[in-house]
Amino acid sequence: MPETPFTVTLPDGSFHACYSPSSVVKQYFTQGQTLPAEEFLELSRTALTEASERVRAKFGFACTAAFASLADIERWAGALPPDTPLTIAHI
């Protein structure tokens, strides 16, 4: 269950570093993929919840780092117009 950081680039060239405690995010995102902010949010919710559940299955407790990462994504991506294109720059 290797932790997997990933970076998202916004249209203005700024970026956000994201974190997953599990490589499961690679099932939802690929490097170079561009998707609207609304879809990115939905996939992030699914991927990071699944990542946390993998931690729970292995260690007996949910992963607070996954939920902290999701809260950060909700904050910045949730503030964008839903159709804002976001690119997975690195995963």
Q: Per-block average pLDDT, block size 10, for the chain (91 residues)?
A: 92 96 95 98 96 91 92 96 98 96
pLDDT of residue 26: 97
State pTM to two decimals.
0.91
pLDDT of residue 28: 97
Domain range list for the chain: 4-90
Strand order in the sheet with 4-9: 15-20, 4-9, 85-90, 34-36
pLDDT of residue 1: 64
